[in-house]
Amino acid sequence: MARPTARKELIGQSSDPRVPVSMTVNGERVEREVSPRMLLSDFIRHELRLTGTHVGCEHGVCGCCTVIIDGKAGRSCLAFAVQADGADIRTIESVAAPDGSLHPVQQAFRECHGLQCGYCTPGFVMSIVDYLEDNPDPDLSEDAIREVLSGNLCRCTGYKNIVAAFRRSAELMRGSR
Amino acid sequence: MKPALFAYVAPQSVEEALELLASDEMARPLAGGQSLIPTMNFRIAAPSALVDLRRIGALNGHAVEGDVIRVGAMTRQRDLERDEAVQRANPLIAEVLGNVAHIVIRNRGTVGGSIAHADAAAELPCMLVATGGTVVARRAGGERTIAAEDFFLFHMTTALEAVELLTEVRIPALPPHTGYAFQEVARRHGDYALAGVCALVTLKDGVCSAVRLAACGVASKPTRLAEAEAALLGAPPEGEALARAAEAARDYATAADDRQASTDYRRDLASALVRRTVTKAADRARERA
């Protein structure tokens, strides 16, 4: 059976001009031409092949795709790559030192068993890295920690060990100052 | 879960943005994108073009000027929340912002974007109605200021015309002898409110000399609770008067039953939240005195 031609015509008519973007990702300058509708999360994963940034819900609820954009944690599924033109982006791949030694936040997640399947972990780590860089002496009450973590979902288990990892992260980062 | 095709422009000036928006009625301005992009990912919205406002320096920044806080439309919510001068001028703003989604969303979400998006359950529009704030709308060759109560017309519908751009939000400072409170009930912290109430209570000799109450999540737009305000005016913010105010608030909950809550439940929430926020605002008014 022949495919309907209407659809093909539609695609032929729709214009999807490529827009040049350049940004710094994990300290490296990258340049690409992208469709305006390409999400930053897809740009990071598909164009740059940095697959540590995970994609869960694609509507800003789960927090898996959190990266640091110009010094502030943000959802990469709620930004278009074209919006990041000229930006400085940090992804989970930049967090550990080049020799592989873990960042204090990663170390804390390991020590406290703050993960099971690991799908949500990059998002949690990026949210916490950004928060603790901004707030080196954070309120460590249960409520305050849960407030910070409320933008990231973990579906494996409860949040007990993740809260513990946040506390330990703050300690380790204070120690490394 | 991927947006439909659209054209993209990032102009450098408000004038240029206005020209672009006027040339295509299906084009939409893009601010922080924290509401617009999810609706595009779901294909609930499919604008023909996005006019990204991020390069327009004139839309950035905020300042306390006398008894008004002027907030550029592109000011990030988190920046306003953390600004100490803003906290001093009107601590209600940070209390309200603490209930807007999550820190990571507020890092990118803008004040102007949330106001222009005008979700009936959103906190910032409710705050703007409660404080009696205004928005500035620019069009080619002119601008007008619109009072919050005239600006919000319906869920996601405002008085902005297609050729206008919201450029600034003006929030009054907290008046003297006045306490404030915002509280909401949501299924999860950070969700849109099932119901939320913003209260400003001015006390003179132990009685309410001015009261402003507004609710979100209970009707088709953020709503002044005028009857509840009237019940408190000239009376102490407790006992009989507070009971009458809480009762009056019920009738403002008109949202139809949905998956999250029934109309009856929202009526109860409006009432309970008026009670709690008025009490808290009155306590704070006494502390400030």
Structural domains in chain A?
Answer: 18-94 (3.10.20.30), 104-175 (1.10.150.120)
DSSP state of A158: -
Let me know the angle formed at the C-alpha of B96 by B92 and B99, rounded to the nearest 5 degrees: 155
Structure tokens at A156: 């494996």
Q: What secondary structure does DSSP assign to B64-112, as a single string? A: EETTEEEEETT-BHHHHHH-HHHHHH-THHHHHHTTSS-HHHHHH-BHH
Residue of B nearest to A128 (CA): B104
Q: B52-81: per-residue pLDDT in tens?
A: 999 999 999 999 999 999 999 999 999 999
Give 10-residue mean pLDDT values along chain A (177 residues).
Answer: 41 72 98 97 98 96 97 98 98 97 98 96 98 96 96 92 98 87
A114 contacts chain B (CB < 8 A): no
A150 CA: distance to closest CA in chain B (Å): 7
At residue B157, the 3 state secondary structure works out as strand
Q: B132-170: per-residue pLDDT in tens?
A: 999 999 999 999 999 999 999 999 999 999 999 999 999
Q: B201-243: per-residue pLDDT in tens?
A: 999 999 999 999 999 999 999 999 999 999 999 999 999 999 9
A160 contacts chain B (CB < 8 A): no
- What mean pLDDT value characterizes chain B? 97
CB-CB under 8 Å, A74 with B33: no
CB-CB under 8 Å, A83 with B30: yes
Please indicate whether residue B109 or residue A6 has the higher confidence score (pLDDT): B109
A82 contacts chain B (CB < 8 A): yes
The span from the CA of B109 to the CA of B115, in Å, is 11
In chain B the domains, ranked by start, together with CATH numbers, are 7-50 (3.30.43), 62-172 (3.30.465.10), 178-288 (3.30.390.50)
Q: Residue B89 pLDDT > 50, yes or no?
A: yes
Percent of chain B topping pLDDT 90: 96
Poorest-pLDDT segment among A154-158, B20-24, B178-182, B218-222: A154-158
Q: Residue A88's CB: how many other CB atoms inside 10 A?
A: 14
The span from the CA of B19 to the CA of B162, in Å, is 11
A72 CA: distance to closest CA in chain B (Å): 6
Residue of A nearest to B105 (CA): A74
Q: A38-47: per-residue pLDDT in tens?
A: 999 999 999 9
> So what's the ipTM on this one?
0.94
């912290």: which residue's tokens? B189
The secondary structure element, H or E, covering residue B27 is: strand B27-30
A69 contacts chain B (CB < 8 A): yes
Paired residues of A44 in beta bridges: none
């102009």: which residue's tokens? B11
| A121-134 and A142-149 helices, crossing angle to 10° | 120
Give the start-end residues of each E strand in chain B. 7-9, 27-30, 49-52, 62-65, 68-72, 134-139, 142-147, 152-154, 157-158, 165-172, 178-185, 195-204, 207-216, 223-224
CB-CB under 8 Å, B38 with A78: yes
- Using DSSP bridges, classify how beta strands B195-204 and B178-185 pair: parallel, antiparallel or unpaired: antiparallel
Q: B242-254: per-residue pLDDT in tens?
A: 999 999 999 999 9
Paired residues of A45 in beta bridges: none
* pLDDT score, position A14: 56
